[in-house]
Structure 1
């Protein structure tokens, strides 16, 4: 029987392989690195946020402009399905206070081992250190392998090659050159879910590693309440990551250091007589800011405005001067990739029948919090199922033609 080829051993590729094998299609999985799931294992070091348990409409909204394209895929394999899938692999889960779903083990390795055992038991043929080099003149897929050059001629192909961040884990974006070489368009890559670069003054050094908690960040039309960490190179964390699209567009970044205190209340507090206290001490006692937040205020607003209303406005909307986003390879994910316009409803390339795309190589982005993982799994499953159906249709067509 003809086989399917899946290129890329991340969550999207493994899920595509799972769908194909479940449909009875033999699968060869080609991975450029010495082992599969490397970025998945790295994500698992911080707990492996699988998805977010929330209303499907709210969940889809996190994908912004790509939500209409992804809607059917996320409806077919959304938060509830992710939980069922993980527990079906023997991995118990729990939902945190924010709605985020994690494996009870709080790491990726047990889930990945269980998944690979399932796939291997279904007959998955894994080929590691297979670097895809693009298409051959006869339409085959060329690889550089430990055994030398190889050309594969599968009945159907699923490409799950990732974005362009964390190149050392496999997502180097080199595949975009292979697409362009045969006239397939690729939207330029850009950093997503990235921290910002800040050239701190020396007095900030003692705060490196300190968290900023219970603050609200804003950039253009986007706003997010969350945490960030002051690092030697700038600010990073879940509070800032969702604002990446607005920061890429050139919007300024500001922070509300006291989101639970209204402007009027803050002005009233700052207007109280300070008696014999120094102004600095009076402000410190009124604001009760944690040391990291106090340091941030002094870093970006010193000398502090004398007028209470102006000082309050500064605290509620403190401009954070920065030198832009962290480099793309240091971002958690990337925007850009294969435009949905060149794919059919099953994620097959219109100009390359039998070749499907899935995962982060598609042109979508989403914030952290389980959205990235879920969309990779959902698009992988969607592409794998449609690849199996397409292959079956081709075989039926040949048989009817012969009859």
Structure 2
């Protein structure tokens, strides 16, 4: 495919002066808005095109849970969270670090605090004040945000085709940053449909990330406990163990502790057909201490009453033990079962409910400035790229950092011309 033109054709056409050059950003999420801010701050005219009626819908959705901006752990612990993508993402994150993201938010009037888990949140604990301040800054920089403009690929000579409320039109930006997101929560705008509009560019198929899993609950357990939280638990799969919380759903289980292991579990299910997750209902008690409590005589108590009194288990935890006993764990010592309830995971939840997605533009397609090697002048950032990370601030940090890196790459590319 041809190179994206540096600027519109000079001169007059049908007596009308050709418009001055501008940079285009496709996608008004965090990565796209950061790229737009970076380009505009360098003096470029910028237009942001988004298919939805309003910008940053997924950011606003994330803000309902407090808007976890980033994490406070040192970079030598932070960067490995990106696993196989660490080498490509690390320079961008080092250049726009968690500390830089906090300072950026503070400059927008959104001071932050660090929670007990090390996660960093705006004091407002929601996204809307930050987004309003950010859009006001962009407006002050002259950035135009154009909703209901959906990218439809390229014309044969490399222009961008857009569906707009006024019909289809083509544009020829001086440089373009793609930031249209992955494929999770498609109703919020990122449906991954763009993957078919980049011929000659390798795109890894999308998979859910940071998602829950389906479990074949009995009807009795499902009807009684769906929606019930599991607090102060630990989950173990293979050599990995994590403490946290989860939620029983009608289909299975989800929540922060599950998300931390979700990539391993997803890949194991794809390889083996299912996966067994071990649930520790009393991680604060050692096996010996728990066994001494549960080896005592029941004295006529039902199993439910005995587990409640001797092990301090809430009803949902007792229900999980009973589910396991009914599913073949009757020969297991009770203390061992409480410390390792086997949960057979049948399948991951789909992209429509996943927090994020894996897959996207293969990182080998990018140069060091986040420009597509096959298309000079075309840059990509955010969840369009093939990386994944756990929840905890790592997702938003990488989106913002790669958006800035792609914006800086576009600035350097334009300056060289």
Q: How does the TM-score come out when normalised to structure 1? A: 0.93
Deviation at 1:252, TM superposition (A): 2.3
Of residues 378, 386, 390, the one that matches 1:363 is: 386
The 1:196–1:306 alpha-carbon spacing in structure 2 relative to 1, beyond 3 Å, is: closer
Equivalence for 1:266: 290
Distance change >3 Å, CA 306–CA 385, structure 1 → 2: closer
Q: How many residues align?
A: 391
Match of 1:389 in 2: 412
2:68 is equivalent to residue 49 of structure 1: yes
Tell me: CA distance 1:176–1:276, structure 2 relative to 1, closer, same or farther (3 Å): closer
Q: Does 1:164 align with 2:183?
A: yes
**Matching residue of 2:248:** 230
Deviation (angstroms), 1:153: 1.0
Instruction: Tell me the residue number matched to 1:213.
Output: 231
- Whether the 8 Å CA contact 1:220–1:246 is kept in 2: the answer is no
User: Is residue 2:96 matched to residue 1:77?
Assistant: yes
Whole-angstrom CA distance in 2 between matches of 1:105 and 1:306: 49
In structure 2, the partner of 1:349 is 372
> In structure 2, how many angstroms separate the alpha carbons of the residues matched to 1:175 and 1:144?
13
* 1:375 paired residue among 385, 398, 405: 398
1:90 and 1:32 map into 2 onto residues whose CA distance is 29
Task: Trace 1:306-325 onto structure 2 (pairs within 5 A).
Answer: 310-325=333-348
Map 1:282-321 to 2 at 5 A: 282-302=306-326, 310-321=333-344
Cα shift at 1:306: 6.8
**Structure 1's 393 and 221: CA in aligned 2 closer, same or farther, altered over 3 A?**
farther
Secondary structure of the 1:62 match is helix
Is the Cα contact below 8 Å between 1:298 and 1:304 reproduced in 2? no
Verify the 8 A CA contact 1:129 1:145 in the aligned structure 2. Answer: yes
Q: Tell me whether 18-27 or 147-156 shows the greater mean CA deviation.
A: 147-156
- 1:273 Cα deviation from its structure 2 partner: 3.8
What displacement does 1:166 show? 1.2
Task: Report if the CA contact (8 A) 2:367-2:373 is conserved.
Answer: yes
* CA deviation vs aligned residue, 1:287-330 (integer Å, no higher than 9, x gap): 111222111121223389677x7322222221112331111121
CA distance in 2, matches of 1:241, 1:233: 16
Q: State whether residues 11 and 380 of structure 1, in contact with CA within 8 Å, keep that contact through their aligned partners in structure 2.
A: yes
Structure 1 residue 52 displacement after superposition: 1.1
Please give the alpha-carbon distance, in whole angstroms, between the structure 2 residues aligned to 1:21 and 1:102. 27
2:11 is matched with: none
Partner Cα distance (1:306, 1:321) in 2: 16
CA contact (8 A) 1:32 1:129 kept: yes
Once the two structures are superposed, what CA deviation does each residue of 1:121-150 show, in whole Å capped at 9, x if it has no partner?
100022111110011110111111111111
Distance 1:247 1:305 in 2: 22
Q: Distance in 1 between matches of 2:355 and 2:403?
A: 19
Q: Alpha-carbon deviation of 1:157?
A: 0.7
Shift of 1:391: 0.7
TM-score, normalising length: structure 2: 0.90
Note closer, same or farther for the CA distance 1:265–1:140 as it changes in structure 2 (3 Å cut): same
> Does structure 2 retain, via aligned residues, the 8 Å contact 1:222–1:246?
no
Residues 304 and 318 of structure 2 are in contact (CA less than 8 Å); yes or no, is this contact kept in structure 1? no
Q: Is the 8 A contact 1:143 1:150 kept in 2?
A: yes
1:6 matched residue in structure 2: 25
Indicate whether 1:240 and 2:258 are aligned: yes
Tell me which of 108, 120, 139 is aligned to 1:89: 108
| 1:160-195 deviations in Å (ceiling 9; x for gaps) | 01000111111100010112xx22110110000111
Structure 2 gaps of 5+ residues are 1-19, 270-274
Partner of 1:329: helix, strand, or coil? Answer: coil
Output the CA distance in 2 between the equivalents of 1:298 and 1:84.
50
1:219-265 superposed Cα distances (whole Å, 9 cap, x missing partner): 33432211111122221111101211112112422211111222222
Matched with 1:190 is 207
Distance 1:368 1:160 in 2: 20
